[in-house]
A and B are shown apart, each in its own frame.
Chain A
Amino acid sequence: MGNFDLLMHGFSVAITPMHLMLMVAGVLMGLVVGVLPGLGAPNGVSLLIPLTFALDPTSAIILLSSMYWGALFGGSTTSILFNIPGEPSSVATTFDGYPMARNGESTRALTLAFVSSGIGALMGIMVITLLAGWASQFALRFGAPEYFAVYFLAFAAFIGMGSAAPMKTLVSLTAGLILASVGMDSVTGSIRLTYGFSDLLGGVSFLVVVIGLFGIGELLATVQEGLRFRGVSSKIDLRDVLKTLAELPKYWATMLRSGMIGIWMGITPGGPTAASFMSYGVARQASRKGAAFGTGRPEGIVAPETADHSAGTCAMLPMLALGVPSSATAAVMMGGLMIWGLTPGPMLFATQPDFVWGLIASMYVSNLLGVILVLATVPMFAALLRIPFTIIGPMIVAICFVGAYTVGSATFDLWVVLVFGIVGFMFTKLDYPLAPMILAMVLGHKAENAFHQSMLLSDGSLGIFFANPLVTGIMIVALALLILPKTLGLALSLRRNRKVVA
């Protein structure tokens, strides 16, 4: 079957009353999560995973992915109306979105954001549709050394391409790997790093860590700033929506460029946040009215939103085809997949076509639903932020702790949330990235297993990672991603400095 037939089959799986209902529910929950501080896409999905155990995996992934799209939409809403990014990836939207809304054009700003997000998502999904079959065929040729090389590539890309200091990324990454190795070692069967505490025997659950890092950590940051929302009117005027739709085709070049940036950053582990910033920067450089950016330029909204959503959707491709998630939320979803008993990777396409293509088809439908739903419900969700923080804050705290408890019904996890809340707060304040820690916790076991198996194959020689063209190629790309971006940046800045001195 070709990709198109598979996609049509996917639509027949995705478009059932039950699944459509899950999509609506997922998008709406995602909007709540995206709008509220302290609840973002990664920990929203973490909170929901324990509730999906009763569903079959296809329905569960449709619910979770719809929530992700909803959270992406919700994050842009607060960026525009309150100048508070609900998600890290919508920070760039505040630059022009909030000024435009303050000029009395909030409907225009919101419509631009939502529709260009929708288009970005659509571009991303089309790329996934086209590449999915090929990527899984390619990945079928992978053995243990290739897999280790791909995991290494993911880690290297985070260090080399992330916006944080490489050494801080490295700390976050290795701390995650160490946390992943707590508990029973699946290769040798020995108990590791528990120091005699029986609570640690089962390991540290990454879902609980995500809830602490992203949920409590973000709340603490909000409390520190002494939260006061100063929002602009959130009424949606249908006439303004239609007028904005008519002006959208003007920005086709910005959309196309931003979509490409998003797709690239989504497939390689750059992630949506980096994609939206890069796209905003490129749009500003490309525009002749560059100076006016930051005062409410439409391109300044279209560019980051398109890139954000195309990166968010494209992050699903490496997660499904290789088992390497390129964003924190995709990492959490991949953890969910493993909890449901599915192994992400090329075999998933062969053994679970309903699941894979149902998900891909659902992405078309739920993003379309998302644009409509978000336009219809924005005033309602924006009202959530007008609830005093002294009420909504403790409620979010309570939800985070309940969510952590339901992961494994362990009281120990409550303390884990508290500790990682403080860690998340400190790390965010000091510019340590959080996503690498989550990625490492999800991939740690798989990376170690792949390394172990490779060593068995080669009798302990590291040469196996350069034994054939495929694995050598991946390793070279990984090393290049690790070393080149920062050294090039350093060399460029040295040259610039020398020019200034001379």
Chain B
Amino acid sequence: MTVKRFQAEIGTAITTGALGVAAIVGAAELGTGWSDHGPQAGYFPFWVAIVLIGASLWNLGGAIAAHRKAQRTPPDPLDDPEEPFLPRDHLIRVAGFLGAMTAFVIGMLTVGFYVAATLYIGLTAWRQGGFRLWVGLAIGAGFAVSLYLIFETIFQIPLLKGPLEPLLGIY
């Protein structure tokens, strides 16, 4: 599967437009007009959202028009809307990185930051970097310990902890 640029353009324009629609819905609940005290709470977001939707529609139209034109005429090599935005191998790489990152976030919420960081760095170095597993985990653990020293010891900012830290006597 390859994502083409005009598809990405259209998807982005629809998303930004949807944000505008959501803002209008939210603003409408608050009143978008004028009261005795000047503009109501929804006035400013409402009109900003109208502009956002307008600009999104413009970008949407532009992307569709460029796509149509490119289908009829030979494409401009410098600015081709049909060019791959994310070729298959890139898509796999980006998706893999994003997936690991999402797993890291879920890990932070369940086993705490330090354990999650050790595993995330260690497993990435092992799976993708070709390091031996224990080397990767050691690098990850070293990184987690240095962040512990920086944040909790020097700046006294507690980070997310999971079930493991209390067992080690760290709160």
Contacts and interface: CB of A to CB of B under 8 A. Distances in A.
B71 interface: no
Contacts of A194: 26
B81 to A, nearest CB: 11
Interface string A373-395: 00000000000000010110111
Contact of A393 (B41, B58, B124): B124
A422 B12 CA distance: 11
* Consensus secondary structure, chain B interface: helix
Interface string A413-433: 011001001100111011010
Contacts of B55: 167-168, 170-171, 174
Contacts of B5: 430
B73 interface: no
A494 interface: no
Interface in B124-158: 124-125, 128-131, 139, 143, 147, 151, 155, 157-158
Contacts of A117: none
B96 to A, nearest CB: 8
Contact of B51 (A170, A219, A224): A170
A398 B129 contact: no
B90 interface: yes
Nearest to B94: A224
B93 A226 contact: yes
Contacts of B129: 388, 390-391
A456 interface: yes
Interface in B72-90: 85-86, 90
A480 interface: no
Given A192-B41, A418-B102, A430 B12 contact: yes
Interface stretch (A20-28, A135-143, A353-361, A447-455): A447-455
A493 interface: no
Interface in A431-481: 432, 448, 451-452, 455-456, 460
B70 interface: no
A393 B140 CA distance: 12
Contacts of A192: 26-27, 30, 41-42, 45
A432 B12 contact: yes
Interface range on chain A (Cβ under 8 Å from partner): 35 or more
Contacts of B104: 394, 397-398, 401
Interface string B44-78: 11001101100110110010000000000000000
B159 interface: yes
B16 A175 contact: yes
A216 B40 contact: no
B164 interface: no
Interface class of chain A by DSSP: helix
Contacts of B120: 394, 397-398
Interface stretch (A122-130, A177-185, A279-287, A339-347): A177-185
Contacts of B23: 178, 181, 193
Interface in A204-243: 216, 219-220, 223-224, 226
B143 A224 contact: no
Given A178-B19, A178-B23, A220 B97 contact: yes
A54 interface: yes
Contacts of A177: 44-45, 48
Contact of A171 (B27, B56, B158): B56
B102 A395 contact: no
B160 A405 contact: yes
B101 to A, nearest CB: 6
A4 interface: no
A171 B128 CA distance: 37
Interface of A: 50-51, 54, 165, 167-168, 170-171, 174-175, 177-178, 181, 185, 187-188, 190, 192-195, 216, 219-220, 223-224, 226, 388, 390-391, 393-395, 397-399, 401-402, 405-406, 409, 411, 414-415, 418, 421-422, 425-427, 429-430, 432, 448, 451-452, 455-456, 460
19 contacts: A168-B55, A170-B52, A171-B55, A178-B45, A187-B41, A188-B41, A190-B41, A224-B86, A224-B90, A390-B131, A391-B139, A394-B100, A397-B101, A402-B113, A405-B108, A415-B105, A429-B8, A430-B5, A430-B8
Interface of B: 5, 8-9, 12-13, 16, 19-20, 22-23, 26-27, 30, 34, 37-42, 44-45, 48-49, 51-52, 55-56, 58-59, 62, 85-86, 90, 93-94, 97-98, 100-102, 104-105, 108-109, 113, 117, 120-121, 124-125, 128-131, 139, 143, 147, 151, 155, 157-160
Sorted from nearest, which 9 A-B pairs have the closest CB atoms?
A: A390-B129, A174-B52, A193-B26, A170-B55, A190-B41, A188-B41, A223-B97, A167-B58, A394-B121
